[in-house]
A and B are shown apart, each in its own frame.
Chain A
């Protein structure tokens, strides 16, 4: 009899009409050339940060829509204030305008990684696998993702918990330049992540984690409105906490709604080490504000009546204002921006059968 499931993998659906790839950029999109075999079938949403008069050239052959700051201002009007400027946090505008069920977001300094056998990793395919298979947040499986080929639930894992829950987020990792904070970068400028950990796992319910936005997939229908990347960059006292903020908010909401968050594979190759001194300036306040934020998120509870992501998020915004407002008035601004974000999201994403808003698109592929 043939050896078990490890030899033949069931085909992963491409989901090419159900997934958008959202890419924030301020420089260029040269990195897309290397991703072409994996990304070309998909629709791209480019969010151009910085100077809107600059033209960002998209490599030939990609189907895309591109939004610069002028587009964002035009589409959102006064609500555009919730979208960061001069920070990759602006990418969440792409989540808002997407019409697809799934989103994959990647940074423009991330390239295709190779697994230990030398084979190129199709990161998008792995994210799709992660998102299409259940998560197991209520009990830790010591052999990691039990739905993977070659794995299963271990002895002692309750059968009643083996169906799992829907997966809302797929958090991928990075080889080469690790995602360290500025102090760690300063102390270990030469450290590279060379360890390929061949695992995916569900982050247990009630456990927080630092969600990195460099290589991230999510089910927009399940958790999209919670993926607000906050107020960062120009005119803001903090940077490099955008994805962290979205990660803590969305994890609390996933835990409340019974949705799963996975982390682990796929890896991408992170090529650019940002300047640690610049990073330190951006992160500085975050490093000590974080000490207040973490207890806040760890103890945040949402009432039973919050049955949608939007309701959860508005409630969270209320709690941010009430409890974190005293840490710094930035959080009062942020709480307001969180509400603005949901209002904008709901305007741009009316429920099916409701009033549809005709959206002027950003620059299309033909330009």
Chain B
């Protein structure tokens, strides 16, 4: 819908490769991905070469690229799903779309294949409305509008920085939830996009996400790595941690976060009961950080995503660092990340995308 006024050259699709053979994944996405440039980042823990089918304009980044660009770092770990952040770093495009490599295009309620790419881009290029809830959801969608009682001064909305998509089949549940309902699959296709109100926290999943890199790029970072976490989403919360920071930053900068469409079809993978042992740490950590995120405020003078992230890092260190070394490390990683981001930005010509 919005692709008419976005150039394909403004978009990068970033894929974290946690499996070597991307053939069936990329072939399934071919009709939607083939017009864009792909940044494929190989999980540094994954040995061997990736198998990528013909016909994609792409570049693969491996462990050695990461080491070369990042240099020695003690606080940031790019393993597993976190390797995608390297892709965000080296991209020079305005919009980034990222999906997990176990996700496929989804079908809507009429059985038609949906275009997750164009939906994400439509979300990002129409305003968000975080200051007042519209009961008909995204008023900028075809066939919808602001309802009676919606203040006129708020109808132009704000820039949308993040588009958080959803998942059919295997929903993004934590391990305890999925373990209790092992056969449960998400069959509900909810035909809506909406802005998550300012001041409201939410779990931002990294499985199916898109963002305006120019607006919030550095605020998506690899920060929180649980001990013993593995290669399954329900063993990690790095995206949840990062997502909470991004939401606070977006609220501070008065830019929007949308949620809802598009859906992707998430393939069955893993055994939640096995993962339960690793997951409990994440679940416990979430409880500790909620009061922090609900109350953290950034100074008015801070107006860029980088500076917001540095302020967040300070607050994390001051208020959470003492309770758990995990958070102290996360704060260090955030500061390190901003340094790397700025350095990568300054030397982008040498990277040759």
A residues apposed to B, CB below 8 Å: 1-6, 116, 138-144, 150-161, 171, 173, 178-181, 184, 188, 191-199, 203-212, 240-241, 243-244, 247, 263, 283, 287, 290-291, 294
Pair B136/A142 contact, Cβ less than 8 Å: no
Q: 6 interchain pairs (CB within 8 A)?
A: A143-B188, A157-B286, A158-B287, A197-B137, A205-B200, A291-B151
Q: Considering residues B135, B186, B259, B286, which has the most beta carbons from chain A within 10 angstroms of its beta carbon?
A: B135
Q: Considering the chains assembled together, what is the distance between the CA atoms of A301 and B190 in angstroms?
A: 35
Q: Considering the chains assembled together, what is the distance between the CA atoms of A116 and B184 in angstroms?
A: 23
| Complex A-B, nearest 4 residue pairs according to Cβ-Cβ distance, in ascending order | A210-B149, A156-B203, A156-B240, A4-B184
Q: Considering the chains assembled together, what is the distance between the CA atoms of A287 and B154 in angstroms?
A: 12
Pair B183/A209 contact, Cβ less than 8 Å: no
Output the least CB separation between B326 and chain A (Å).
Answer: 16
Contact with A154, one of B146, B147, B203, B290 (Cβ below 8 angstroms): B203
Contacts A6-B187, A207-B199 given; does A178 touch B287 at CB 8 Å: no
Pair B132/A152 contact, Cβ less than 8 Å: no
Pair A197/B152 contact, Cβ less than 8 Å: no
Closest chain B residue to A205, Cβ basis: B200
Output the least CB separation between A103 and chain B (Å).
Answer: 19
Q: Considering the chains assembled together, what is the distance between the CA atoms of A207 and B132 in angstroms?
A: 6
Output the least CB separation between B254 and chain A (Å).
Answer: 14
Closest chain B residue to A287, Cβ basis: B152
B residues apposed to A, CB below 8 Å: 109, 132-137, 141, 143-154, 164, 166, 171-174, 177, 181, 183-192, 196-205, 233-234, 237, 240, 243, 259, 283, 286-287, 290, 294
Q: Considering the chains assembled together, what is the distance between the CA atoms of A140 and B199 in angstroms?
A: 11
Contact with B202, one of A142, A194, A290 (Cβ below 8 angstroms): A142
Residues in chain B near residue A143, CB distance under 8 A = 166, 171, 186, 188
Closest chain B residue to A192, Cβ basis: B143
Pair B237/A156 contact, Cβ less than 8 Å: yes
Q: Considering the chains assembled together, what is the distance between the CA atoms of A263 and B189 in angstroms?
A: 17
Closest chain B residue to A241, Cβ basis: B149
Output the least CB separation between B188 and chain A (Å).
Answer: 6
Pair A154/B205 contact, Cβ less than 8 Å: yes
Residues in chain A near residue B189, CB distance under 8 A = 198
Residues in chain B near residue A263, CB distance under 8 A = 133, 135
Pair A155/B173 contact, Cβ less than 8 Å: yes
Residues in chain B near residue A209, CB distance under 8 A = 132-135
Closest chain B residue to A247, Cβ basis: B149
Pair B147/A156 contact, Cβ less than 8 Å: no
Output the least CB separation between B314 and chain A (Å).
Answer: 23
Contact with B203, one of A142, A144, A194, A290 (Cβ below 8 angstroms): A142
Pair A4/B183 contact, Cβ less than 8 Å: yes
Residues in chain B near residue A3, CB distance under 8 A = 183-185
Pair A193/B143 contact, Cβ less than 8 Å: yes
Residues in chain A near residue B136, CB distance under 8 A = 173, 178, 193
Closest chain A residue to B192, Cβ basis: A197
Pair B188/A212 contact, Cβ less than 8 Å: no
Q: Considering the chains assembled together, what is the distance between the CA atoms of A243 and B283 in angstroms?
A: 41
Q: Considering the chains assembled together, what is the distance between the CA atoms of A180 and B143 in angstroms?
A: 12
Pair B181/A152 contact, Cβ less than 8 Å: yes
Output the least CB separation between B272 and chain A (Å).
Answer: 11
Pair A206/B135 contact, Cβ less than 8 Å: no
Pair B199/A206 contact, Cβ less than 8 Å: yes
Residues in chain A near residue B287, CB distance under 8 A = 158-160
Output the least CB separation between B343 and chain A (Å).
Answer: 31
Contacts A158-B286, A198-B189 given; does A142 touch B164 at CB 8 Å: yes
Residues in chain A near residue B173, CB distance under 8 A = 152-155
Contact with B290, one of A2, A160, A204, A211 (Cβ below 8 angstroms): A160
Contacts A155-B174, A156-B240, A191-B145 given; does A139 touch B151 at CB 8 Å: no
Pair B132/A142 contact, Cβ less than 8 Å: no
Contact with A210, one of B135, B190, B234, B283 (Cβ below 8 angstroms): B135
Output the least CB separation between A156 and chain B (Å).
Answer: 3
Residues in chain B near residue A211, CB distance under 8 A = 149
Contact with A191, one of B143, B181, B197, B283 (Cβ below 8 angstroms): B143
Q: Considering the chains assembled together, what is the distance between the CA atoms of A193 and B192 in angstroms?
A: 13
Pair A294/B145 contact, Cβ less than 8 Å: no
